[in-house]
Homo-oligomer: A and B are copies of this chain.
Amino acid sequence: MDIHKLDKYAKSLIKEAAGRIKASFNTELIIETKSEANDLVTNIDKETEQFFIGHIKRDFPDHRIFGEEGFGDNIQDLNGYVWMLDPIDGTMNFIHQKKNFAISLGIYKDGVGILGYICNVMEDDLISASLGEGAYFNDLRIPNVEQARIEQSIIGINASWVVPNKYIEHEGMIELVQTVRGTRSYGSAAIEIAYVVTGKLDAYMSMRLSPWDIAGGMVVAKEVGAIVTNLEDKPINLLTQNTFLVAKPGLHKELVTNYIKLK
């Protein structure tokens, strides 16, 4: 398999899918809830995933797809080629804001990320990376992330993790919020990872993300020297939900050592 051809193919699918999502604003949106009241899905999430799957299954019948909406394969291992796809990362933003959502895609071969994409649909931006060949913001090479002092850092963290919750000791989060320069919250893991790899945020953390939320971003992060682990400083398991931290080196160590204590 020629990785450059696969890259070109994936980019063409993403571009067409983004166009379809934009066109969908002229039609009525059908909104349903999934696991809980605020876990939303729309007909467009589903149709976009099916669009990808239809093409991939036709053109690469031995590739498997691990997608948020469940139309892909029942993935129990990462053997061979696995496409990890969130057709709309940030569905709540898609519904409420009609912006600030992304197509997130990672292509893995035998468990190793070889291609990664984050497409901010409404801003017409595509971040892409290819294993060992660097990362790009549209056509511009993304430079390696720099070090950041925690007092001058802007951290992506949702207020949900700063109040008492079942995942993390929130006292450490309070101290973090009071130490950093600022916090932001955008409601899309893929967009927040995109912000870290392009230096707009210095770190982003979450208590619960699925493989398709982060698989694409992880390939990009590696190419620019950003560190990705779960919140226990251990490797991400792309077969299950994970806690998640992506950060500039140095800052990553400081966060897991001094601020993050899981329950």
Contact = CB atoms under 8 A, between A and B. Distances in A.
Interface of A: 37-38, 92, 96-99, 123, 151, 154, 157-160, 162-164, 173-174, 177-178, 181-187, 195, 199-201
13 contacts: A37-B181, A92-B181, A96-B200, A96-B201, A97-B200, A154-B187, A158-B183, A160-B178, A162-B162, A163-B177, A163-B178, A184-B186, A185-B185
B187 A186 contact: no
Nearest to A156: B185
B181 A184 contact: no
B181 A183 contact: no
A164 B163 CA distance: 10
Contacts of A185: 159, 183-185
A97 B151 contact: no
A191 B188 CA distance: 18
Contacts of A99: 200
A182 B187 contact: yes
A178 B164 CA distance: 9
Contacts of A199: 96
A173 to B, nearest CB: 8
A201 B97 CA distance: 8
B159 A97 contact: no
Contact of A92 (B154, B164, B186): B154
A181 B98 CA distance: 16
B154 A163 contact: no
Nearest to A160: B177
Nearest to A170: B163
Nearest to A154: B96
A174 B181 contact: no
Q: Which of A158, A159, A181, A186 has the most CB of B within 10 A?
A: A159
